[in-house]
Amino acid sequence: MAILKHIKRLKYIDFMIRRKATGDLDSFARKNGLCKRAMTGIISEMKELGFPIKYDRMKNTYYYEEEGQMVRSLFVKEGQLLTNDQLRNIGNYDRLCFSGVYVFEICKER
């Protein structure tokens, strides 16, 4: 499945960035079996998702500007996040829709 391959690649990219072991863009792309353009696209997408990725020209490596890492699981057990009752206190979550830009947004009226 293509999505599993992409998630594994993102985990590897996250690992390399946290270790400050990416090298320059050419090297980073090569280590991921990608061309420079594809690697640049992935880095841009990760930045859009909130990853605080920066490049250190002196050390020739990408790094995170803040401490943190990629979420390890796409499925979270009940109780690890807000419960439905807690969500109800926030607002009408039944009107939340998927967004290509944000995780959720208010559904547009049809």
Ordered by where they begin, the domains of the chain are: 2-64 (1.10.10), 76-110 (no CATH)
> Could you report the per-residue pLDDT of 19-30, keeping only the tens digit for each?
999 999 999 999
pTM, rounded to two decimals: 0.69
> Could you report the per-residue pLDDT of 37-69, keeping only the tens digit for each?
999 999 999 999 899 999 999 999 999 999 988
What lies within 8 Å, CB to CB, of 39 at 6+ separation is 25, 28, 29, 32
End-to-end CA distance of the chain: 34
